[in-house]
Structure 1
Amino acid sequence: MKKALICGVSGQDGAYLAKLLLEKGYAVYGGSRDAQMASFGNLKRLGIRQNVELVSLSISDFRSVLQTLLKVKPDEVYNLAGQSSVGLSFEQPVETLESISIGTLNLLEAIRFSNLPIKFYNAGSSECFGDTGSLAADEMTPFRPRSPYGVAKAAAFWQVANYREAYQIQASTGILFNHESPLRPERFVTQKIVAAACRIANGSNETLTLGNIDIARDWGWAPDYVEAMWQMLQHEKPDDYVIATGHTHKLSDFINVVFQTVGLNWQDHVQTDASFFRPTDIAEGHAHPAKARLQLGWKASHTMEDVARMMVEQRS
């Protein structure tokens, strides 16, 4: 039986990945800063809490990481930990950089030090690219991040590339574009929209206030994307892959589908407020995920419209 260690198992991607790996027959270990006190609500929601072996692990502490690797001896390690909100990174830039960049470095160095034949997946982000305009980003597109989160993810990406080249670590990064699900917390704008629309449809007279609704993103379905993570580590050669649907939509389009799904006109219930705008933001995000399709056989199976409807249906 293969063993996998998921760092950040309590988040959206960690929970869906744990479910996928359990279905594939893995023994799944989930790392969390405080495994005794954390609620692991997402694992409970997916009905897999009792099937995941939880371990207390702080990836910002090298000793903690090394001890965990030597104890578990996993075949695969998935690094999904660290501060995960772009918006919050402007308020907490130091914590963001340390949790993402230092955490990734500790994992890589512990794998090198342990000398175990571990395959490593690193969660990269489209935020590394910054604003590419109408250019669809692929694996050769230069990084010009425009947020502390993007800067941290870019640093982690190059750490992985360096360890792969210098130490022959079997390490890959998935450069993931936006991917959503009902497991998203409400600090993410997609879930904020869904939650408000459902409350309004149930009689609330509130108005939903948002920032810039003209931004455009490539939105996918999170369970599709964790499949790509697993496929990367099954490929004979470690590499980096852009993971996305290849289709970009404005946030106002997402809002429209959500409100249509609950039978409302969004323009009657949504207002914008410039104070919600980020200090720097990406106007458009476009992706070219051809490499993942050609080399991994992976392709997104859900559109933005599917994602918006499923998030509403699984909440209402």
Structure 2
Amino acid sequence: MSRRVLITGVTGQDGGYLAERLLAGGDEVVGTVRRPDGALAAAGLGHLEGRVTLLPADLLDAASVRRAIAEAQPDEIYHLAAPTFVPHSWEDPTEVTQAIVTGTAAVLAEAGARDGVRVLVATSSEIFGDAGVSPQDEDAPKRPRSPYGVAKLAAHGLVGTLRSRGDRFLVSAITFNHESPRRPERFLPRKVTAGVAAIAAGRADELTLGDQRAVRDWSHAKDVVAGMVLALRHDEPGDYVLASGVPHTVGDLVDAAFRAAGVERHVTGPDGQPRDRVLVDPRFVRPPEEWPPVGDPARARRVLGWRPEHDFEALVAEMVRADLERLGGAPGA
């Protein structure tokens, strides 16, 4: 059955992969961006020109969000648009909170005025924070440690509260870290893969990072958006953790990137002594987190039949290959 689908934030990492998946399945896709002119090409999604209809919407302008939904007349909404870089939430919690909470409220309100519209809201593992348990499932305590996490928890709460009335099909997708070659370099995994690719291509000699002991749960963005579709098209609405369930340290990420690039991390220096090509900046070293953000995807696997297709090593290798191609290099060059 073909559906008319609205994706907010369609030019983001997840939005692009989701649009491709839905179009391949025969759905009609409408996306929102702040400024439609040239937005797909600027995001590296020029191949979607003419296939995705773009509408203007700004999360800080609730009226524009509601207008976009009214014009799109969707059967389904995937609300992915939101600030994504957690550190920025400390600089201006006002704008981040307004964009996430008010934007989500506007989407849910306008969708609620239209019969039968299903809505998925992408929340975040940041809602758990100091949960007191790790890994975290949907019912783990939620004690966010950042303004971003607080705002995402409010959005998550809105979904649950409105759904509890029993007349709305609303889903909260609690996404843990997920990456791809489309991830901007301000995010750590792309910084690592781009840095190692530069070393392999002879463009750099070393890479500077912070604490390599930090633990994260990394998935491929393609797998996460596949889980979103399964969740929104299931028989019953609910909340779902979308994560690999496998913890890895930043050091694991670095080692996997060097393996994928086919170059040695440890080399002999000019003085004949072994040298690590990865330097540690003490300013970014923090004590290990007591409750690492690792997800428990058991519900999504059991209820939705969600089976991720990319493991950690394959994800890192894909990102390294893409960065090497960008630099004109090749593994082991």
TM range (shorter): over 0.9
Q: Output aligned runs, 1:219-230, within 5 Å.
A: 219-230=218-229
Equivalent residue for 1:298? 306
> Could you say which residue in structure 2 is the equivalent of 1:179?
178
Task: Please name the residue that 1:80 is paired with.
Answer: 80
Give the Cα separation in 1 of the matches to 2:38 and 2:115.
30
Please, which runs of 5 or more residues in structure 2 have no aligned partner? 267-275, 325-333
Distance 1:171 1:107 in 2: 11
In structure 1, stretches of 5+ residues that fail to align are none
**Secondary structure at 2:23 match in 1:** helix
**What is the SS of the residue equivalent to 1:242?**
strand
Give the distance between the partners of 1:149 and 1:278, measured in 2 at CA: 19
1:15 corresponds to: 16
Determine if contact 2:213/2:288 at 8 Å carries over to the other structure.
no
Structure 1 counterpart of 2:300, one-letter code: A
- Which residue of 2 is the match for residue 49 of structure 1? 49
Cα deviation per residue 1:126-164 (whole Å; 9 max; x = unaligned)? 111114466211111011111121111111100111111
Normalized against structure 1, the TM-score is what? 0.93
> In structure 2, what is the equivalent of residue 198 of structure 1?
197
The CA distance in 2 between the partners of 1:231 and 1:275, in whole Å, is 42
How many Å separate the matches in 2 of 1:295 and 1:59?
32
Which residue of structure 1 aligns with residue 296 of structure 2?
288
* Cα separation, 1, equivalents of 2:249 and 2:277: 18
Q: Deviations over 1:96-152 (max 9, x none)?
A: 21111111011111112x333210000011111114466211111011111121111
Larger Cα-atom Rg: 2
Report how far residue 53 of structure 1 moved: 0.6
Q: Which moved more, 1:218-227 or 1:205-214?
A: 205-214
The residue aligned with 1:26 is 27
Moved more, 280-289 or 168-177: 280-289
Sequence identity (%): 38
Could you say if the C-alpha distance between residues 124 and 282 of structure 1 is closer, same or farther in structure 2, counting changes exceeding 3 Å? farther
SS in 1 for 2:5: strand
CA positional deviation for 1:40: 4.3
1:191–1:118 CA distance, 2 compared to 1 (3 A): same
Between the aligned partners of 1:37 and 1:310, the Cα distance in structure 2 is 27
Task: Identify the range of structure 1 (300-309 vs 202-211) with the bigger mean alpha-carbon deviation.
Answer: 202-211
Distance change in 2, residues 1:159/1:8 (3 Å): same
- Give the length in aligned residue pairs: 314
Change (3 A) 1:238 1:191: same
Verify the 8 A CA contact 1:87 1:278 in the aligned structure 2. Answer: no
Cα root mean square deviation, aligned: 2.0
2:98 maps to which residue? 98
CA 1:282/1:30 → structure 2, altered by over 3 Å: closer, same or farther? farther
**Is the alpha carbon distance of 1:278 and 1:21 closer, same or farther for their aligned partners in structure 2, counting shifts above 3 Å?**
farther
- Residue by residue over 1:251-279, the C-alpha shift from the partner in whole angstroms, topping out at 9 and shown as x without a partner, is 11011100121123335221122323589
Deviation at 1:39, TM superposition (A): 4.8
Deviation string 1:64-122 (CA, Å, 9 cap, x unpaired) is 1222222211000111101001222222322221111111011111112x333210000
